[in-house]
């Protein structure tokens, strides 16, 4: 959930918050957070930064189904399809901890400046 996504920015503004963007930086809510939703105790009003996830329900279609949880530092440099393909190509032959290490090694090369954490849950 990024503050530069139109729906998220509208919600932030409707609740009295503001989104700022400085040159060579990502948009921030109240000049503090680069995300528009968060599960944390923070100085920003919880109405502006709610702890409301998007919930999408899928039916499990294969024995290699998994869920990937990652912080915004991951999603800043790769998209859902890229990380899904990366994990799918390795899931049958590796243990999850190794896949996570390989994923982080691969995308740290992109010189992200944000924290990067990933959890993979095999269903």
| Inter-residue contact 68 to 82 (CB < 8 Å) | no
Residue span of the structural domain in which 19 resides: 1-55
Taking the C-alpha atoms of residue 40 and residue 3, their distance in angstroms, rounded to an integer, is 17
If asked whether residues 79 and 32 sit together in one domain, one would say no
Angle at 33 between CA 71 and CA 39, to 5 degrees: 55
How many Å apart are CA 12 and CA 4, to the nearest integer? 10
pLDDT at 41: 62
Same domain flag for 71 and 118: yes
CA distances from 93 to 52, 77, 90 (A): 35, 25, 6
**Could you tell me if 72 and 47 lie in one domain?**
no
Q: Which is it for the CA torsion 39, 79, 76, 88, positive or negative?
A: positive
Distance CA 120, CA 123 (A): 10
78 within a domain of the structure (yes/no): yes
Same structural domain, 49 and 73: no
In a domain, 96, yes or no: yes
Q: 109 or 82, which is more confident?
A: 82
Predicted confidence (pLDDT) per residue in 10-66, tens digit: 999 999 999 999 888 888 999 988 888 887 767 888 888 888 888 878 777 777 688
Domain shared by 33 and 78, yes or no: no
Query: Is 60 part of a structural domain of the chain?
Result: no
Q: What span, in angstroms and rounded, lies between the C-alpha atoms of 116 and 107?
A: 9
Count structural domains, the chain: 2
Average pLDDT, the chain: 85
């Amino acid at each position: 959930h990024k503050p530069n996504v139109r729906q998220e920015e509208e919600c932030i503004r409707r609740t009295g918050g503001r989104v700022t963007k400085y040159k060579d930086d990502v948009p921030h809510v109240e000049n503090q957070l680069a995300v528009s939703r968060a599960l944390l105790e923070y100085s920003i009003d919880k109405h502006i930064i709610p702890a409301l996830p998007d919930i999408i329900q899928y039916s499990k279609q294969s024995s290699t189904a998994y869920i990937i949880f990652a912080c915004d530092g991951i999603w800043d440099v790769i998209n859902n399809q890229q990380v899904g393909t990366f994990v799918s190509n390795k899931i049958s032959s590796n243990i999850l901890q190794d896949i996570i290490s390989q994923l982080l090694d691969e995308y740290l090369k992109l010189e992200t400046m944000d924290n990067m954490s990933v959890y993979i849950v095999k269903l």
